Amino acid sequence: MTKVGAFMRTSRLDELPQLWNVLRGDMSFIGPRAEWDELVSTYETLIPYYHLRHIVRPGLTGWAQVRYPYGSSVEDARMKLEYDLYYIKNQSPMLDLMIVLRTIRVVLFGVGSR
């Protein structure tokens, strides 16, 4: 990875193009994080109730992203699903505000989940 690419990843600037998807209405600002189609197929066969996270639009940030550290294993996906389902069940302006504030904290100060 180039130095510019590494900076964009660590500063999360690589997420900016997805803002266009939010503006188009394909994504929400807050919701379960979108996954690659191949991973979704795998997770739906391995993880019960995984399909339920798709009843809301995917988001740029979400409860799982601010509560659980970065991970790419099936076990990580199981844990993130618990947070995603919690968010879906308990959606509220207050929970959205908490997610936004925690996201700002992670992006600006590097504090919290990565």
Token output for 110: 């590097």
CA distances to 27, 86, 92 from 97, in Å: 18, 15, 9
pLDDT at 112 (0 to 100): 59
Number of H helices, E strands in the chain: 6, 2
Residue 51 CA to residue 84 CA, distance in Å, equals: 11
pLDDT number for residue 31: 95
Using one digit for the tens of pLDDT, what is the confidence trace for 24-38?
Answer: 999 999 999 988 899
pLDDT value at residue 106: 81
Residue 39 pLDDT > 60: yes
Cα–Cα distance for residue pair 13/11, rounded to 1 Å: 5
> What digits encode the pLDDT tens for the residues 44-96?
999 999 999 999 999 999 999 899 888 889 999 999 999 999 999 999 999 99
Q: Which two tokens stand for residue 56?
A: 């809301």
Tokens 């996954």, residue located: 35
Q: What is the pTM of this model?
A: 0.81
**Eight-state DSSP code of residue 12:** T
Residue type present at position 95: L
Q: Quick one: pLDDT band at residue 113, thresholds 50, 70, 90?
A: low
Residue 114 has pLDDT above 70, yes or no: no
